[in-house]
Amino acid sequence: MDMKSIPAQTGNYNLENYEEMYKTFDWEDAKKNFTWNETGKVNMAYEAIDKHAEDPDKKNQPALVYSAPGREETLTFSDLKRESDKFANVLKKHNIEKGDRVFMFLPRSPEFYAAFLGILKTGAIAGPLFEAFMEQAVRDRLEDSGAKMLITTPELLERVPEKELPDLKQVVLVGGEGSGDYISFEEEMKDASQDFDIEWVDLEDGMLLHYTSGSTGKPKGVYHVHNAMIQHYQTGKWVLDLKEGDIYWCTADPGWVTGTSYGIFAPWLNGVTNVVKGGRFSADDWYSLIAEKEISVWYSAPTAFRKLMSAGAEVAKKHDMTSLRHVLSVGEPLNPEVVTWGLKAFDLRIHDTWWMTETGAQLICNFPAMEIRPGSMGKPIPGIEASIVDNEGNELPPNQMGNLAIKEGWPAQMRAIWNNPGKFESYFVNGWYVSGDSAYQDEDGYFWFQGRLDDVINTSGERVGPFEVESKLIEHEAVAEAGVIGKPDPERGEIIKAFIMLNDGYEESDELLEDIRQFVKKGLSAHAAPREMEVKDSIPKTRSGKIMRRLLKSWELGLPTGDTSTLEE
Ligand code: WTA
């Protein structure tokens, strides 16, 4: 779709002149905003919460506004400091130390945020898990990380194979009775002291593990350190354009990186009120929340915008959304149609932003005071060098498609892949971090996303590894072989399509396919279950036994199959 550019907005923005800032900015400047600039010691939870709780003008300002069916709660900065200090004391009492992995398998709730901050205060490493994960997904992550403690609910505990996890020493239950084996969150919090001596750590000390999928192998633990705060703070200022008095809503779950970097760190480092919504998606509820809470800055995803779009203008019209002043998107390509819809629905531009779990923070963005070219992800933030490179890491000229790459060494960059140094190394070529996305850059410096270069599937903005789904599929008694691809879908971006070969003695039927689908859903998670399945007599593989997903995809899309010389006889 060819669409005219949308001119820069006028107003008071934190970043008025992108070009100028790009030329002059140095990350050293950003460090001056933090107290550790003098002491050398740091803690993300201090900068995000305690600092504001110590400020008489800010301590009673709402920090967390929680809204879910049947539960509304507001915690000020001083409330969150107290609750997280208490939980940090609970952790210490149960021998959690700096560097330990403490995982959280919880729905979005005030307890989640207090516990998360409490973990950081002890210097331990937090590992948030998406609440829709099922047993296998939970086991893989707890096993690989060697998590010592898990915080969960009695319902979710049913999906945790405790006996198979020798490193897991303790389980804290939120909303459950304390019994011999389990620690009760509520009971321990009742008695916990409100005074906690925060663990001052080094910038390079571990803070967070987010598991994410690649095209091969199990999910990988992307390891982030406290230093990331420099970029969370700065992008919160420039990209989210957060200012005193803003009411901010990020729709992402903290089990994914957007829900931590921009659902916890960026808003609180900038001292703004952070709205968290529990419960499921409903267009009416979402619009009501914006109106009721008077949300001014809103960060969401193309899938959600597309759902709102299909709910129709009537639903939108019932609600007053004039509080909104800045809207942003991440996670998948933002279709120009959605940008056009946004202009009509909110009278605002939707600002696309590009980044990944591995990058820790936003890298290529559209800024309020910058012209938008719908379909483009924007330009690199000041302090970031982005380029298009070939497979050897040589830069390519404008308008040529290649690997989207970032010059190594930005503040929020992952520092390791947990237990997997080889994988970590493989991301870097000739000084560039190679993202796995293909893109090109136009003559004016705008980046245009083209697709994934590997087989990673992006369904409704969630990253799914085909290998994980294939492995689960073949565990089903009826399935001999499986190949999994992402199939383009107008609302979800991509859906998961599985090609399967059945074992002898099994006949294809709707019941059997549904049974296989449910098997994946119950083993991994709902978003990883194939929405489409097709039975084949064989699954194409290379002579070395690798599933040729590319060939499956070409079949599916009716495209030429290209080079099949490596295909097994
Ligand atoms: C995709 C989410 C197009 C991309 C923060 C990337 C995007 C992957 C965009 C990372 C965008 C993210 N336009 N595609 N603006 N933003 N992606 O790790 O393929 O869950 O590599 O991080 O999502 O997904 P992840």
The answer for residues whose C-beta is within 8 angstroms of residue 347's C-beta and 6 or more apart is: none
pLDDT, residue 4, reads: 80
- At position 175, the amino acid (one-letter code) is G
- Output the CA 356–ligand 1 centroid distance in Å: 5
What single DSSP character describes residue 7? P
Structure tokens at 386: 């982005």
- Kindly tell me the burial class for residue 563, based on how many C-beta atoms sit within 10 Å of its own C-beta (0-12, 13-18, 19 or more): exposed
Structure tokens at 177: 């009775």
Q: Which residues of the chain have pLDDT under 70?
A: 1-3, 178, 566, 568-569
Classified as helix, coil or strand, 421 is helix
Structure tokens at 316: 């939108």
The model scores a pTM over 0.80: yes
CA dihedral (315, 321, 325, 326) positive or negative: negative
Greatest pairwise CA separation for the chain in angstroms: 74
pLDDT, residue 150, reads: 98
Counted residue by residue, the chain has a size of 569
164 vs 542: CA distance, rounded Å: 35
Which residue, judged by its Cα, is nearest atom 13 of ligand 1?
333
- Kindly tell me the burial class for residue 521, based on how many C-beta atoms sit within 10 Å of its own C-beta (0-12, 13-18, 19 or more): middle
- In 3D space, the residue among 314, 315, 341 whose CA is nearest the CA of residue 327 turns out to be 341
- At position 389, the amino acid (one-letter code) is V
Strands (E), 195-285: 206-212, 220-225, 247-250, 273-277
The answer for residues whose C-beta is within 8 angstroms of residue 292's C-beta and 6 or more apart is: 67
- Other beta carbons within 10 angstroms of residue 465's beta carbon come to 23
Q: Which atom of ligand 1 is nearest to the CA of 449?
A: 3
CA distances for 218 relative to 141, 176, 526, angstroms: 9, 32, 17
Which residue, judged by its Cα, is nearest atom 22 of ligand 1?
356
pLDDT, residue 557, reads: 92
Question: Quick one: three-class SS letters along 113-151?
Answer: HHHHHHHHHCCCEEEEECCCCCHHHHHHHHHHHCCCEEE
Question: Quick one: three-class SS letters along 489-517?
Answer: ECCCEEEEEEEEEECCCCCCCHHHHHHHH
- Output the CA 511–ligand 1 centroid distance in Å: 35
Mutate to test the pocket of ligand 1, among 463, 464, 492, 527 (most ligand atoms within 8 A of CB): 463
- Output the CA 180–ligand 1 centroid distance in Å: 44
Residue 563 φ/ψ region, left for φ over 0, alpha for ψ in the -120 to 50 degree band, beta for the rest: beta
74 vs 64: CA distance, rounded Å: 6
Given the structure tokens 């059997």, which residue do they identify? Answer: 512
Which residue, judged by its Cα, is nearest atom 12 of ligand 1?
331
- Output the CA 355–ligand 1 centroid distance in Å: 6
Q: Which atom of ligand 1 is nearest to the CA of 352?
A: 15
398 vs 446: CA distance, rounded Å: 10
CA dihedral (261, 263, 264, 266) positive or negative: positive
- Output the CA 247–ligand 1 centroid distance in Å: 25
85 vs 89: CA distance, rounded Å: 6
- Output the CA 93–ligand 1 centroid distance in Å: 39
Q: DSSP assignment of 243-261, as one string?
A: -TT-EEEE-S-TTSHHHHI
pLDDT, residue 38, reads: 77
CA dihedral (349, 355, 361, 362) positive or negative: negative
Q: Which atom of ligand 1 is nearest to the CA of 353?
A: 15
pLDDT, residue 1, reads: 40
Mutate to test the pocket of ligand 1, among 213, 223, 300, 354 (most ligand atoms within 8 A of CB): 354
What single DSSP character describes residue 42? B
Cα pseudo-dihedral 468, 473, 479, 483, rounded to 10? -50
Domains and CATH numbers, the chain: 18-440 (3.40.50.12780), 456-557 (3.30.300.30)
Mutate to test the pocket of ligand 1, among 231, 306, 355, 357 (most ligand atoms within 8 A of CB): 355
pLDDT, residue 33, reads: 86
- Other beta carbons within 10 angstroms of residue 31's beta carbon come to 17
pLDDT, residue 544, reads: 81
Q: Which atom of ligand 1 is nearest to the CA of 364?
A: 15
161 vs 145: CA distance, rounded Å: 15
The answer for residues whose C-beta is within 8 angstroms of residue 261's C-beta and 6 or more apart is: 228, 232, 360, 361, 412
- Output the CA 450–ligand 1 centroid distance in Å: 12
- Output the CA 462–ligand 1 centroid distance in Å: 9
User: Helices 510-523 and 135-145 sit at what angle, rounded to 10 degrees?
Assistant: 30
Q: Which residues line ligand 1 (CB under 6 A)?
A: 212, 256-258, 330-334, 352-357, 377, 435-437, 449, 452, 458, 463
Establish how many alpha carbons lie within 13 A of residue 551's alpha carbon, considering only the half-sphere containing its beta carbon: 16
* Residue 190 parent element (H or E): helix 185-191
- Output the CA 330–ligand 1 centroid distance in Å: 7
- Kindly tell me the burial class for residue 197, based on how many C-beta atoms sit within 10 Å of its own C-beta (0-12, 13-18, 19 or more): exposed
- Output the CA 353–ligand 1 centroid distance in Å: 9
ipTM of the complex: 0.99
Mutate to test the pocket of ligand 1, among 437, 450, 492 (most ligand atoms within 8 A of CB): 437
500 vs 487: CA distance, rounded Å: 15
157 vs 102: CA distance, rounded Å: 15
Strands 182-184 and 170-173: parallel
- In 3D space, the residue among 264, 233, 231, 234 whose CA is nearest the CA of residue 250 turns out to be 264
Whether 450 contacts 439, CB under 8 Å: yes
